[in-house]
Structures are given as C-alpha cells and as structure tokens.
Amino acid sequence: MTTRRETQTRLDQLLTEIEHRNPAQPEFHQAAHEVLETLAPVVAARPEYAEPGLIERLVEPERQVMFRVPWQDDQGRVHVNRGFRVEFNSALGPYKGGLRFHPSVNLGVIKFLGFEQVFKNALTGLGIGGGKGGSDFDPHGRSDAEVMRFCQSFMTELYRHIGEHTDVPAGDIGVGGREIGYLFGQYRRITNRWEAGVLTGKGHGWGGSLIRPEATGYGNVLFAAAMLRERGEDLEGQTAVVSGSGNVAIYTIEKLAALGANAVTCSDSSGYVVDEKGIDLGLLKQIKEVERGRVDAYAERRGASARFVPGGRVWDVPADIALPSATQNELDENDAATLVRNGVKAVSEGANMPATPEAVHLLQKAGVAFGPGKAANAGGVAVSALEMAQNHARTSWTAARVEEELTRIMNDIHTTCHETAERYDAPGDYVTGANIAGFERVADAMLAQGVI
C-alpha cells in the first residue's frame, strides 16, 4: 500500500505540474493547493483513486470556452469584452455554477471558481456538476439598455454551450435578476424554446424559486450556527462583522437578525460602515438594491449610530463571528490575527475563497471554527438546484418549503464535513472534511463512468 508520505509527494508533483501548465493563474493555483494538500489521507487509504489518473483528470476542466462579446453603449460606441465558460466536471450531473460580470474576471479566476464549484455542488448531494463563467464587463454605472445589449451579445455565443441537461448557469457578482432576465430572453429568442431550467436565479413569476436571492447568505449563517452548536453555543446575542453589501452580505445580515445575532458592519470597495445599533436592513437594501449607491450614503442617512471608514479593514471591528461575503482573498493573515486578538469564535465564508491560505491556517491554529466557502456558501447553488427541480415539474414551491429544504441541506453539509474530518483524524477541521467529502463523491462517480 502507498504510504501517506508517498501520496503527498505525488500530489505535490501534480501541483507543480498544474502551475507549469496554467501559468499566470494564481487564483486557480491557490484553489488547487487548498484541495490537494488535504487529499493524501483519502488517496492513501483508497488507492483506487490514484490508479486511473483520476486526480489528474479532476484538476483539468472538461471544456474551456472563451469568446469575444461586442456591444454598443448608449452613445453608439462599440466595446469588446471577453466572455468565459469553464465546464469543469459533469460526473455528478449537468455543469452548474454562476456567471460573474466584473473587471477582475479572467480565465484563471473562472477556473478557480469552477474548481471550487465541483466540490461545493457535490456536498449538496443534489446531482449537479461544477462549472463557472462570466466576463470582464463592468455593469456598474451602465444603463439598463447597455446591460441588455451586453447580455444579448454574451448569450448569442453562450447559448450553444448550455442547456438544462448540459450546463445551467446562474448569477454571481454583477449578475442579478436584471441580467438573468436579459440572458434568458435572448436564449429563448435564439432557440425558440421555453427552457426554464437552462438558467437559475430567474424572476419568481417566470420560473424562479422563492428564497433564491436569500439562499447564499441564509445558508452561510445556518452553517455558522451549526458550527457554534457543535461547540455548545448558539447565535443568540452574538455580534457579527460582515463584509460586502451585495446580495450575499444583505441576506447574511437578515438571517443573523432572524436568529438573534447583531451584524454591525457592511462594506464595499470605497470602505466600510460600523453601526453600533446594528445594520438597518431596510436602509441598506434601499441604497444598494434600489439606488445602486455606495455604503457611505448609509452612514450619512443612518444618523449618529453609524460611521463610515474610507478604505481600512472591516476586520478591525471586534466581533464574535466574522462572515466574509465580498470577494476572494479579502481576509489576509494580518486580518486573521486581528480577529483572533479581538476574540472571534467562528469565521464562515459567504464569498468564494475570501480568506487567504495563511489566514485560514492562523485561524485554525488559534482554535477558531472555520467554515470554508465550498461548504458554508453552498446554499445558493443548493436552491438553484431546487429551482431546477421545480422547473422540471413545472411547479412552484412555497417559501416555507424552500427554506425548510435549505436548512436541511446546510445541516447535512455540516454533518458530512464534521464526520468526514473525524473519520480522517482531523476533528473540527471543516476544510479537510469538506474537501475529502466532496472529492469522494465526485471520484466515485468518475471511477464508475470510466476513463473519459
């Protein structure tokens, strides 16, 4: 039998090869390292995973699509953006993962997100593969007409690669209900099919699911609550620091309040707000969802309890729980050290890979409960899969039923990660538990289906 040390040596060699074959893609390298550095125990215990080049196949996307997206602004000027769709792994079902519209998008970012999505989707147990897509287009400050023209051009290429039994995109940063509507309309126009299951995150009146906008934030809070329960605590009365002010952050704050915790921060690229009374959710939604404004406007209108800190680090605010909900690598080692000094009990990732590897290791070493994004923020894709189920049946579930299913799924994910970590002698290590549990589900399916 291959020893754990020999297995780790082989995985280290594969990581070197990944970096060589995928130059200038640091986010993808980071995601691959985060997973592969935890797999030695399971590969050593189950040598069948090592034989058919399974891990080598797992880290290589099944398909990578990149295309140009020409569009006209309101002044008639032509712009050209890049579009991406990385279909990473379909062993468990059709590719499933969001579209991100943001200037930071490039192939490496999309590959990192798609790789994470493979394991996240596996953890839900809902029979969906992993993929991701997007564009370096920035919808911020663009008119509805400009966003529509961009989405129509984007879908004119993307439509040939997707379908309810092939690849089902959803929203992500920069892609909300408005963008999904324009994308779906163009898909319907081109294909002449009412294929509701081809996109998720749709409006409730035309195939969308209730609780879908809330699902990622709600799910992350439910996962954090489960981690605290494992330690004999609950969310009631806890103070929380939340980063971001988009969809994930807003509904994280909402669910925290519903469970008796008090979120005192929100942020965007201009800085962060601290509100001693707790974030006024109605005001935040008005500014961010209706007016599409900045968080400094929240502080101006909230009154004496709130202050805006330009720049700075939201993690400087003392709290019992931290929920990074903005973007990748927003919480570094210094931030983690500050959180530990301030007595943080749990950190749960609402965004994808928001904590750097150094930050994760420091938090774990300090005994902080740490929920990795592939487990903690799986609520969004879980409800997307529930939306697909409703579309297939041409029915619509009540909000109560969807939330009940979401709660069950998040608790099951927590239990799976916790028990898997214990099974591989890493009690309390949710990173190891999530990586191995997700890997086992995908790897078993890949073995069953042959070398493809």
- DSSP-assigned beta bridge partners for residue 71: 79
Query: Is residue 117 annotated as involved in ligand binding?
Result: yes
Torsion, CA 67, CA 72, CA 78, CA 84, rounded to 10: -20
Query: Is residue 216 annotated as involved in ligand binding?
Result: yes
Query: Is residue 285 annotated as involved in ligand binding?
Result: no
Q: Token pair for residue 439?
A: 């890997």
The residue whose two tokens read 């943001």 is 102
CA distances from 265 to 280, 299, 352 (A): 10, 11, 19
Q: Answer for the pair 242, 265: CB distance below 8 angstroms, yes or no.
A: yes
Query: How crowded is residue 88: how many other Cβ atoms within 10 Å of its Cβ?
Result: 26
Distance of alpha carbon 135 from alpha carbon 70, whole angstroms: 12
Long-range contacts of 48-57 (CB under 8 A, 24+ apart): 48/447, 49/443, 49/447, 50/2, 50/7, 50/10, 52/447, 52/451, 53/451, 54/443, 54/446, 54/447, 55/11, 55/14, 56/14, 57/446, 57/451
Q: What is the Cα gyration radius of the chain?
A: 21
Q: Answer for the pair 348, 321: CB distance below 8 angstroms, yes or no.
A: yes
Q: Answer for the pair 60, 52: CB distance below 8 angstroms, yes or no.
A: no
Q: Who contacts 263 (Cβ-Cβ below 8 Å, separation ≥6)?
A: 240, 241, 242, 252, 253, 256, 257, 278, 279
- Within its chain, how far is the Cα of 326 from the centroid? 10
Active site residues: 132
Query: Is residue 217 annotated as involved in ligand binding?
Result: no
Q: Answer for the pair 406, 222: CB distance below 8 angstroms, yes or no.
A: yes
Instruction: Please give the helix or strand (H or E) that residue 171 lies within, else none.
Output: strand 167-171
Query: Is residue 345 annotated as involved in ligand binding?
Result: no
Binding-site sequence positions for substrate: 96, 117, 120, 171, 384
Binding site for NAD(+), by residue number, is 216, 247
